[in-house]
Copies of this chain bind each other. A is one copy, B any other.
């Protein structure tokens, strides 16, 4: 089920979108069966790009921090999904500890925490915030922009459990992407549910692994609904470790980029697409939106040394990433909100789509990374009367759910994430 939210799409429905809308019962059944075999992540935020001819996920965040960006009218959906998740994980649960990110917390992040707290409180849990930031030594009251406050308490480790003073949670909900690695206080928690698990942390995840899982999912799904999987899956090349400070590393990267641009030109020709293809060079490991570089031509890839002498263009170009490198097909976004380039971000709890928002950026182009400073967020509300039943009326006017396609693409990315987490689960590896 995908709620009918208002999207910025108002053009005609193209073949791909119509195919997905028509196949709704088949698609929903397929997801039901997937979730019988695989465990969905506790929650997930998926950024999507819609180029018109293709639609694909460009970021699958397992520690979503934008809950406050969801339209308030979608809150009951999130609560109901949270309730379904709790019933599955730990129906006896009384208490939930949310572990926020460490370091200074912005007012936006606090609003995110407030919304998350509200969702799980309304689902029937006592929710408290336990910080693992060593700087948080005592219970601290944090003021929100709306005049309310949140209380942040230092998380305490006692043998095999984490909690607060006089607060023993059954489940710990992580809202920190662990970009500095797994903190000791959260390791070896065999008596409590830690969700998402430590191996969902950014130092463990590899983009190449996620992309490979997504390719597998897309192939199977493409077969199901009868579409070329490329229409929902960006190509990628795992380049391995490249030292881009050395000419040999840069040459290898240029080779990968050239090869992919060639493949893309052929695909674009096959589908009669007039746009210019581009790729994104990324580190295999790293947080969403960081360490990316958009490349339209392999010749753009210069050594930092030569860049210094190149003059005017150099300051615009971000530093080339170092280490393990992935080259991924870039996906244009044709969506616009208030004239700004926009990409939808779909939020899920357990296996349910519970809302979404647009990430927009006034200063970026349709082939740029929007997950960058200056981005703003526009909630997607429910589509008022548009979702009133008009069923059975063949040929009668019926407002299609333009958000449906995004709900499908986002859940495919979530299925891929579940494959990925299975592949990296230390317990499964111990059994294997």
In the complex, which residues of chain B have a beta carbon less than 8 angstroms from the beta carbon of A25? 94, 121, 124-126
A118 interfacial contact with B, CB 8 Å: yes
**B76 close to A382 (CB less than 8 A):** yes
Distance of A150 Cα from B382 Cα, bound (Å): 26
A131 interfacial contact with B, CB 8 Å: no
Residue of B nearest to A142 (CB): B392
**A86 close to B148 (CB less than 8 A):** no
**A393 close to B148 (CB less than 8 A):** yes
Residue of B nearest to A352 (CB): B80
**A92 close to B393 (CB less than 8 A):** no
In the complex, which residues of chain B have a beta carbon less than 8 angstroms from the beta carbon of A77? 76-77, 80
B-facing residues in A194-252 (Cβ within 8 Å): none
Complex copy number for this chain: 2
**A84 close to B86 (CB less than 8 A):** no
In the complex, which residues of chain B have a beta carbon less than 8 angstroms from the beta carbon of A124? 1, 24-25, 27-29, 31-32
B-facing residues in A107-143 (Cβ within 8 Å): 114-115, 117-118, 121-126
Q: How large is the interface on A (under 10, 10 to 19, 20 to 34, 35 or more residues)?
A: 35 or more
| Main secondary structure on A side of the interface with B | helix
Residue of B nearest to A24 (CB): B124
In the complex, which residues of chain B have a beta carbon less than 8 angstroms from the beta carbon of A27? 124
In the complex, which residues of chain B have a beta carbon less than 8 angstroms from the beta carbon of A121? 24-25, 391
**A33 close to B91 (CB less than 8 A):** yes
Return A235 CB to nearest CB of chain B, in Å. 30
Distance of A149 Cα from B393 Cα, bound (Å): 5
Interface residues of A (CB under 8 A from B): 1, 3-4, 24-25, 27-29, 31-33, 35-36, 72-77, 79-84, 86-87, 91-94, 114-115, 117-118, 121-126, 146-151, 352, 382, 384-385, 387-393, 396
